[in-house]
Amino acid sequence: MREILGRRRRLLDRFGLRSRQAFRRSGPAVLLDAALNCATNWRWPVVPGVGPAPGAADDCGCPDPDCVVPQAHPFDPGLLAATTDGRMVRWWWTNRPTAPLILATGGTAPCAVSLPAAAGAHALVHLDAVGVRLGPVITTATRCSFLVAPYSLERLGELLYAKDWVPPSLRFHGEGGYLLLPPSAPAANAARWVRAPLPGSSRPWLPDVEAVVDALVEASTGAPGGGSRLAY
C-alpha cells in the first residue's frame, strides 16, 4: 500500500495534478484560501468587496443606484481596512464567504494598469511577441489589468507627460486604488487570471510600469471608438 501511495504522489507531482486538485475545492473555501494566500504568503493587503444586493444577484449591495463598479469595490469595511493579517482575513471571509476579493494597490503592494478587455488582449499578444516579461494579468468581461511593481504618482506623471495623448479608458491603480482579484465572480463580470502566479509560489514577480505602459497606451488608443469609453 505504501508503494502504491508513493507512486501516486510521484505521478501527481510529475504531471502537476496535485496542485490542480488543491485548487478544485469549490464554493466559499476557494475565496477564503485565495484571500489568505494573498495576505499571508504574498503580503498583499486585501479587503472584502461589497457583493450583491440582498435578493438581487445583479445589483450592487452599496447605496449608490448608479454604481460604476457593481459588487467589485470595498464598502464596509472600507479600503483603508485592507490588511495582511491572516486572522482578520479569515474572520472577514468566514462571516462573508462569498465576498469578492479586493486588493488595495500601491504602497508596498502591486500597482496595476487596466484597459478595455479587447485592447488588453491585443496588448498581451504584442508584449509576448517582443519578449517582455509580464507579471500576473487579470481579465473580466470588460477590463484587462496588468499588475506592475509599485510606482509613485510622480513617477507615473513623468511617464505620461512624455506621451502625446493618453486614452481616458486607460486606468492606473496606484496608491489609494483597488483591483478585483480572482476568483471573485460579481454578477456576470467574473475576474480570472490570464497569467496566474504559480500555485505555491513566493511573492509574484512584477515588471516595472515602464516595461508595459507604451504598449498599453497604443493598444487602448487603437481600441474601437478610440478607446475613449471608460468601461469597467
Map out the domains of the chain as residue ranges. 25-227
User: Measuring CA to CA, which residue among 134, 208, 147 is closest to residue 182?
Assistant: 147
pTM of the model: 0.82
Residue indicated by cell numbers 448608479: 66
Within 8 A by CB and 6+ apart from 211, the residues are 132, 133, 148
Percent of the chain with pLDDT over 70: 81
Q: Sort residue 231 into left (φ over 0), alpha (ψ -120 to 50) or beta.
A: beta
Contacts 24+ apart (CB under 8 A), 35-38: 35/89, 35/92, 35/93, 35/101, 36/86, 36/89, 36/90, 38/101, 38/103, 38/181
pLDDT tens per residue across span 114-158: 999 999 999 999 999 999 999 999 999 889 999 999 998 888 888
